Amino acid sequence: MTRLLKWLLILPLGLTACAPVAPTPLSQKDFADPPLIISEPGQFIFTEDITITQHHVHAIEIRSDNVNIHLNGFRLQGPGRASGHGVYQPPNRKNLSLEHGEISNWHGIRSYAVRAEGRANVFQDLRVLNSEGGIWSGDEAAVSHCDISDIDTFHDGYGIRAGVRSIISHCRVSGVHNRGAIGYGIFAGNESEIRYSRVTDCRSDGHMGYGIRTGRNSVITQSAAVSNTAAYIGYGIASGANSRIRASHAIGNRAGGDGYGIAGNANTVMDECVAEHNRANGRFSYGIQGGDNAVIQYSRAANNGGEATTAAGIVVGAKGTIRTSEVMENRMHGIWLSSQHVHALNNSVHSNGSAGILVSMNENTVENNRLTRNGIGLLVTGTMNDIRNNTVHDNKIDYDIAAGNTVE
């Protein structure tokens, strides 16, 4: 194997200022016996495309903190099947920077184009394709302007995976095919942010598939999941508890079982979001779903459904709020209040196949909504609900409200 140590710059006597250290050039000859092991801090720059033909080895192994590798627009290409990782960093290292080039053809078992498990790594302007896995980083990562495509994995797979307190921005992931139990286009751990990113045309054959997923206390902003498919349970965009999903879109996603366009866990705020043309064929199909105490506002859910047993444009958990949103042309219900102490306020609900608003539980509030051209404008099967000041007209049936509710 090849070892690289940073060159020392010896200054002439009397020179008081330190000249900058030039990056160490890397060419094909440096990879004659991979992996190339970097065991000292430093900067390295590719001078040509690099191709690894040996099997079961990494191309580059990082054994130091504070390493910068600039691909300089060149390619790091693996041997295909039976490869190692393109770039590998163990969990006890930090501050790897990798930028500006292509990493491709790393198809070994559980191999990644980049498997950097350390902390505070930076990845930018990378094109990753035709590999078993895309980019995997540890905590506090920054991943930006990366394009991930044609990832084909037989295990739980990721286009981009980052640990807690990470930021993923301006990234595109497409064509991730996961044959394991769970597949992700983009995943970030707790207290992370995903922004201005897009996941399209990904497919999960296993139990569950996500376009975009974060842990709790996270933010997803101006991102999109489009035309992704899951054999069983599928999510376009999903967050953990106490998060915010803002100005993000889930469009044309498909699930063979239960399906969710946008899903926020407990205490999550979803605003200015759009869920359209999402389909599922299991028990549930929801355009936008919120957990307990969630808030869904200034959003649109349209044309969601599929062949699911129960389908709704928007649904939220106990003590949640749905307000000032447009819910239209969903196959079954527009808004479904399936928990207690939920508020549905100031929504425009029209042209849904079944109920505009279905209230199947008790002690909810439905106020100042406009319901038109639905199968049933307002269907209330629960009791002790407060129904007031709604505009309901031009539905096939305007009202179907059980006894024991307050209607004004």
**Is residue 112 in a domain?**
yes
**Is residue 130 in a domain?**
yes
pLDDT at 19: 57
User: Considering the chain, what is the average pLDDT of its residues?
Assistant: 94
**Is residue 43 in a domain?**
yes
pLDDT at 9: 36
What are the tens digits of pLDDT across the range 100-153? 999 999 999 899 999 999 999 999 999 999 999 999 999 999 999 999 999 998
**Is residue 243 in a domain?**
no
Helix (H, G, I), strand (E, B) or coil at 179: coil
What are the tens digits of pLDDT across the range 20-65? 779 999 999 999 999 999 999 999 999 999 999 999 999 999 999 9
**Is residue 64 in a domain?**
yes
pLDDT at 21: 79
Range of the domain at 92: 23-138
Beta-bridged to residue 310, according to DSSP, are 284
**What are the helix (H) ranges across 336-385?**
none
**Is residue 366 in a domain?**
no
pLDDT at 15: 39
Residues 6+ apart with CB under 8 A from 233: 207, 208, 209, 255, 257, 258, 259, 282
pLDDT at 86: 98
- Give me the mean pLDDT over the 53-79 stretch: 98
Helix (H, G, I), strand (E, B) or coil at 29: helix
Structure tokens at 154: 């037989």
pLDDT at 6: 36
- Give me the mean pLDDT over the 350-363 stretch: 98
Count of positions (residues) in the chain: 408
Whole-prediction pTM:
0.94
Q: What percent of the chain has pLDDT over 90?
A: 91
Query: Is pLDDT at 16 greater than 70 in this prediction?
Result: no
Query: Is pLDDT at 298 greater than 80 in this prediction?
Result: yes
What are the tens digits of pLDDT across the range 251-281? 999 999 999 999 999 999 999 999 999 999 9
pLDDT at 11: 36
Please give the Cα distance from 154 to 183 (Å, whole number): 10
Which of the four pLDDT bands, split at 50, 70 and 90, describes residue 4?
very low
Please give the Cα distance from 52 to 55 (Å, whole number): 8
pLDDT at 380: 98
Structure tokens at 325: 């949103």
Residues 6+ apart with CB under 8 A from 44: 4, 23, 24, 25, 26, 38, 67, 68, 69, 70
pLDDT at 389: 97
pLDDT at 208: 95
**Is residue 80 in a domain?**
yes
pLDDT top residue among 180 and 295? 295
Cis, peptide link before residue 12, omega less than 30° from 0: no
- Give me the mean pLDDT over the 183-192 stretch: 97
Instruction: Determine contact, residues 106/129, Cβ cutoff 8 Å.
Output: no
Query: Is pLDDT at 18 greater than 60 in this prediction?
Result: no
pLDDT top residue among 260 and 154? 260
**Is residue 282 in a domain?**
no
Q: Classify the phi-psi angles of 132: left when phi > 0, otherwise alpha if psi is within -120 to 50, otherwise beta.
A: alpha
DSSP strands (E only) in 134-268: 135-137, 142-144, 147-153, 157-162, 167-169, 172-178, 182-188, 193-195, 198-200, 203-204, 208-214, 219-221, 224-226, 229-230, 233-239, 244-246, 249-251, 254-255, 259-264
Number of domains in the chain: 1
